[in-house]
Structures are given as structure tokens and as C-alpha cells.
Amino acid sequence: MDGSPTKSRYYVVYDDGAWMIQCDGENSEPYMYRNDAFRDAVALAHLDGRNGRLADVIVQSEDDLFRPGWDSTRDSYPPPLVPEH
């Protein structure tokens, strides 16, 4: 190990008619709206950041591609609404 901090990665994904947060192989409860899942994913990532662990949120967009949504090293908290792509 090189001594650099590990990074948590939270994914906001659409699956089976609902939005979910995925991290470390675990799924959250379903969300009706992407913005709600994004808000909670950022809150979790922010908590990691406060505990000394880098974190980011990757969001599935309307075209099914995954794009960066929030990063603990550069973005403010609370974040604006999820970027529309």
C-alpha cells in the first residue's frame, strides 16, 4: 500500500424502476427521484470526507452513462441539484 487515502465511491443508479445508491457492493433503499438519491449520496460522501476519507458521487445520466456528480476534494456541501446531462 502506498499510504495514500482510500476513496469511497457512491453511485446513483437507475434500476428496476427506481433510483438507488450503490457503494461497496451494497444498495440503498429505492428512491423515486434521482435528485433525492443524489442528495443522500452526497451526504454519505460528505460524512466520509469529514472522517478523513476521500469520496465522490458518480451519477447515471439519462443516456445511461455515468458522470461525476460531486467530489469531496473540490465541491461544496450541500451541493446544488444533480447536474443534468
Chain segment 48-64, per-residue pLDDT in tens? 988 999 999 999 998 99
User: Where in the chain are the domains?
Assistant: 13-71
Backbone angles phi, psi at 84, to 5 degrees: -90, 125
* Rounded Cα distance, 28 and 47, in Å: 16
Chain segment 21-56, per-residue pLDDT in tens? 999 999 999 999 999 999 999 999 999 988 999 999
Alpha helix ranges (H) inside 1-85:
34-50
pTM for the structure as a whole:
0.85
pLDDT of 81 over the 70 cut: no
